[in-house]
Amino acid sequence: MDQLPYCIAWLSQWRGEITDAVGSLLSTFEETYGYEPGRNEVRLAGREDCRAARDFSEEVLGFEDLLTFYEEIAEVVLPDVGNGCFVHSAREVLDRLAQEGPVFLPEADDPQGMVIASNGGGLLYVADWGGAVHRSRTASLQDAEFDKVADSLPEFLDHIRHHVVRFVETGATGDL
């Protein structure tokens, strides 16, 4: 991607690249894999999503990059890309945070975070309050250990873009 600063234009370009790659994948998906694909999209935020993003900014000690994301993108649903890739909606993040509380990240600079994404294998991606993103080593948060996968949300989103493009080009599931 071009070196745009992280903003709405960056997110628009990011979404466009993923949408183009997924469109290419879906055009031959059934003949390649033998079954119909599910819903695969980077869904733009609508009115209700923007309301949830405002609630997110009021209720969470989150960071500006995540708020910018939720003001533009409602969710990412890519079940047929690799092992699946999902960036949860602001409402889902808030609901989980309200029900389960913050995730403890003992080795992070900022030890509290929230689940913002997952993959089809059940691994969870947690954004800490400082903006870094961590991946669980197992499909459970119970005594979970985490590895930092990105120093910022834009870096994490760029990992997703690379993952999608690599899968479409090579069929390799890779490791997000």
Could you tell me the CATH number of the domain that includes residue 146?
A: 3.40.1580.10
* Closest listed residue to residue 92, CA positions, set 79, 73, 75, 109: 75
- The verdict on residue 81 lying in a domain is yes
Domain membership of residue 143 as a residue range = 8-170
Say what the pLDDT of residue 161 is: 96
- The verdict on residue 3 lying in a domain is no
Say what the pLDDT of residue 3 is: 66
**The residue to which tokens 């509380």 are assigned:** 101
Say what the pLDDT of residue 149 is: 96
- The verdict on residue 2 lying in a domain is no
Say what the pLDDT of residue 62 is: 63
Mark the ranges of the chain whose per-residue pLDDT is less than 70. 1-3, 59-62
- The verdict on residue 94 lying in a domain is yes
- The verdict on residue 176 lying in a domain is no
Say what the pLDDT of residue 163 is: 95
7 close to 68: Cβ distance less than 8 angstroms: yes
pTM: 0.92
* Closest listed residue to residue 38, CA positions, set 48, 49, 26, 50: 26
- The verdict on residue 30 lying in a domain is yes
Say what the pLDDT of residue 57 is: 74
- The verdict on residue 175 lying in a domain is no
- The verdict on residue 151 lying in a domain is yes
Q: How many domains does the chain have?
A: 1
Say what the pLDDT of residue 130 is: 85
